[in-house]
Amino acid sequence: MQDYQHHWKDGTPVHLPLGKIVCVGRNYAEHARELNNPIPDEPLLFIKPSTSAVYMTRPLEVPRDRGDVHFETELAVLIGRPLSNASDSEAEAAILGYGLALDLTLRDVQSQLKAKGQPWERAKAFDGACPLSPFIPADRFTGTDIRFTLDIDGDRQQTGDTGDMLNPIIPLIAHMSSQFSLLPGDVILTGTPKGVGPLISGQTLSLELEDLLFVETKVA
């Protein structure tokens, strides 16, 4: 039974419904290269359903019968206002908070789909495919670049910096809103830096967003 609800870091619920999760692929050039993927000319968009969202703080339950499940650590953006064909200023004003997400991917399945020229949803949209952290209010972020990290069993695995994005956050959200409406409670995943890899049972994942949020979870 789906029981996910957006929360702030202090545990207070965010009184918005869980909407769709809109993702962008290959938004960091080094990640595209590590998977031997071409860099797209425009944002490569796909959607995870609300049923993919789970609490990151709970043990990660992943499919065991569909090949490797890869982690992709991403900055998550919580949308607080409706957006349609938004300007950059409207997109920026609609950002309610920032958090962290794991875009879990059935990598073997995705490779098979890509080889056939088919959509990725079978690899990206399964139940539990989007663990989400609590959110931090957007006004707590004062710098121009936002940084985040992932450690696995104490070793640094991924380091992200929004300054390295091919499509920066504000124009990216505005572009998304020109393709389909964004609603309060929707979440934007902004792409993963290099360093992705398979999840292994028993691993401990430690994720940090600036000095504002620290989340630890385990692979069941």
Q: How far apart are CA 118 and CA 29, in angstroms?
A: 23
pLDDT in tens, 26-79: 999 777 677 777 778 899 999 999 999 999 999 999 998 999 999 999 999 999
State the CATH number of the domain containing residue 109.
Answer: 3.90.850.10
Q: pTM of this prediction? A: 0.95
User: For residue 124, what are the domain limits?
Assistant: 21-218
pLDDT in tens, 176-206: 999 999 999 999 999 999 999 999 999 999 9
Asked if residue 14 is part of any domain, the answer here is: no
Asked if residue 94 is part of any domain, the answer here is: yes
Asked if residue 4 is part of any domain, the answer here is: no
pLDDT at 135: 98
69, amino acid identity = V
Asked if residue 8 is part of any domain, the answer here is: no
Confidence check: pLDDT of 1 > 60: no
Asked if residue 10 is part of any domain, the answer here is: no
Average pLDDT over all residues of the chain: 95
Asked if residue 40 is part of any domain, the answer here is: yes
pLDDT in tens, 81-109: 999 999 999 999 999 999 999 999 999 99
Count Cβ neighbours within 10 Å for each residue of 96-114 and write b for 16 or more, e otherwise.
bbbbbbbbbbbbebbeebe
Asked if residue 5 is part of any domain, the answer here is: no
What total of structural domains would you count in the chain?
1
- Tell me the three state secondary structure of residue 200: coil
Would you say 216 and 134 are in contact if contact means Cβ atoms under 8 Å apart? no
Asked if residue 2 is part of any domain, the answer here is: no
Strand partners, 95: 79
- Tell me the three state secondary structure of residue 29: helix
